[in-house]
Amino acid sequence: MIGRTVVLTITAGKRSMGTVTGAAVRARVAVATVFFTNGFVFANAVPRYPEIKDDLGLSHTALGTAIAAMPLGALVIGLLASPLIKRFGSAWTAVVALALLGVNVVFIGTAPGFALLCAALFIAGSLDSITDVAMNAHGMRVQRLYGRSILNFFHGLWSVGAVLGGLAGAGAAQAGIPLPVHLAVAGALTVGAAAMAFRFLLPGPDDAEREAAADDAGRPAVRGGIGWPVIRLLAVLGLLSGAAAVVEDSGSSWGSVYLRGELGANAAVGGLGFAALQGAQTVGRLLGDRVVHRLGDRDTSRLGGLLVVTGMGAALLWPSVPSTLAGFALAGLGIATLIPAAFHAADEIPGLWPGAGITVTAFLLRIGFLLSPPLVGVVADASSIRLGLVVVPLAGLVILLTSGILEGRRPARG
């Protein structure tokens, strides 16, 4: 039943590929704007953490505790995304949460004490997780109108926005721009972008395109109950996306530490581990829709899992700075399309509220981000970071084993 629903939806969309309306094009630009802005806004604050720490007189432990409030907020409040989408729609939910995130980022830079900083970061994580689910749900609506994969490009723009936001934050710090002024400008740009995007997002209920696709195919939309098959499917999709999170976190949390501490790289080269993974992931996302359109989500994800296993596996077997940088790059390229693929599969499960599948998958994904750093750290303390990073090729094996649940190559004709 689940597989049939997916095929029906995509087949109908495929027929309309040559007749994409102007409204669909404008909605695509609007969704792209939301993705880019979501990546951009909070990244402005990250390079200014040292100033926040000094201004509030925080210890390293206190700052780390405050930062941890953000993923905690995402996990605790993020599950409200689906009820909000059901009540207000994905367009309204995405832009309002994004605009509030733009306002909240100002409070991160102006919090007068530790407790309020924790509260601001908790709210930031909550709003970011709601925006994440809602903008992906709306991106899926636009993708159905196009009848082909476009979701990976949205995620690529998010990565571009995050990079540019980080550069803007670093530049503002270097120029000595006061923190409240800098973040107020970033917040105002975010609110403005959200307001403009809302004008061109798709109106109507979030199931409209799915039901229209079923009508075009001459069959009623398939509905199903929420039983153990659906729960198992969501669990496997969560495992797949969580494995991708483990791979992604390896570069950001441990790349520099491993390169500098165990491979003897200097400070400049040490930072390239994160850049190699994120850069390759961004390129893979920007180009990934063409690959997915040709191979399908299933084979693309299997190829990605193979890149993770072979790339980081070889880098850990024969450790050196060049092999490690290449390994991180191949790992980033391997996971580029995985999270969009998992969201796509979750959103096509029948019998769920709009956005519910993405909400659950995103929740399990964030658990992967939360558990990965301490897991590697425990192994590193007991042995070495090199052994701790074995979780990366193991995550690649999980990706290979779970990719079969994803959709295969899309049929050329209905």
Encode pLDDT of 173-205 as tens digits.
888 899 999 999 999 999 999 999 999 999 887
User: Which pLDDT score, from 0 to 100, does residue 408 have?
Assistant: 67
For residue 289, give the nearest of 342, 213, 340 by alpha carbon. Answer: 340
Confidence of residue 10 (pLDDT cuts 50, 70, 90): very low
pLDDT band at 253 (very low <50, low <70, confident <90, very high): confident
- Tell me, what's the pLDDT at 373? 79
Q: Does residue 12 register a pLDDT over 80? A: no
Q: Sorting pLDDT into bands at 50, 70 and 90, what band is 147?
A: confident
Give dist(CA 396, CA 240) in Å, integer.
Answer: 9
What gap in Å lies between CA 366 and CA 2, rounded to an integer?
25
Range ranked top by mean pLDDT from 19-23, 83-87, 201-205, 367-371: 83-87
Q: What pLDDT was estimated at residue 91? A: 94
The enclosing H or E element of 413 equals none
Q: What is the pLDDT of residue 409?
A: 60
- pLDDT > 90? residue 356: no
Query: pTM for this structure?
Result: 0.81
Phi and psi, residue 318, nearest 5° = -125, 75
In this predicted structure, what is the pLDDT of residue 27?
Answer: 94
pLDDT higher than 80, residue 8: no
pLDDT score, position 410: 57
Q: Are 38 and 159 in contact, with CB atoms under 8 Å apart? A: no
Task: Name residues whose C-beta falls within 8 Å of residue 125's C-beta, 6 or more positions apart in sequence.
Answer: 69, 70, 71, 72, 73, 74, 75, 77, 78
Task: Decide: helix, strand or coil at residue 1.
Answer: coil
How much is the pLDDT for 4?
A: 33
Write the pLDDT tens digit of every residue in 274-316: 788 888 999 999 999 999 989 999 999 999 999 999 999 999 9
**Contact yes or no for 411/262 (Cβ under 8 A):** no
For the segment 159-180, the average pLDDT, to the nearest whole number, is: 88
Calculate the alpha carbon distances from 360 to 68, 89, 350, 363 in Å: 21, 17, 14, 5
Q: What is the rounded average pLDDT of the residues 70-75?
A: 88
Provide the percentage of residues in the chain whose pLDDT is more than 70. 89
Can you count the helices (H) and strands (E) in the chain? Answer: 19, 0
- Say yes or no to pLDDT of 74 above 60: yes
Q: Calculate the CA dihedral of residues 348, 351, 355, 356 and round it to 10 degrees.
A: -120
Cβ atoms 359, 91 nearer than 8 A: no
Q: Which residues neighbour 198 within 8 Å (Cβ) at sequence distance 6 or greater?
A: 30, 91, 92, 95
**For all residues of the chain together, what is the average pLDDT?**
85
Per-position b or e across 127-162, b if 16+ CB within 10 A of its CB:
bbbbbbbbbbbbbbbbbbbbbbbbbbbbbbbbbbbb
Rg (CA), the chain: 21
Q: What are the residues whose beta carbons fall under 8 Å from the beta carbon of 303, sequence distance 6 or more?
A: 295, 334
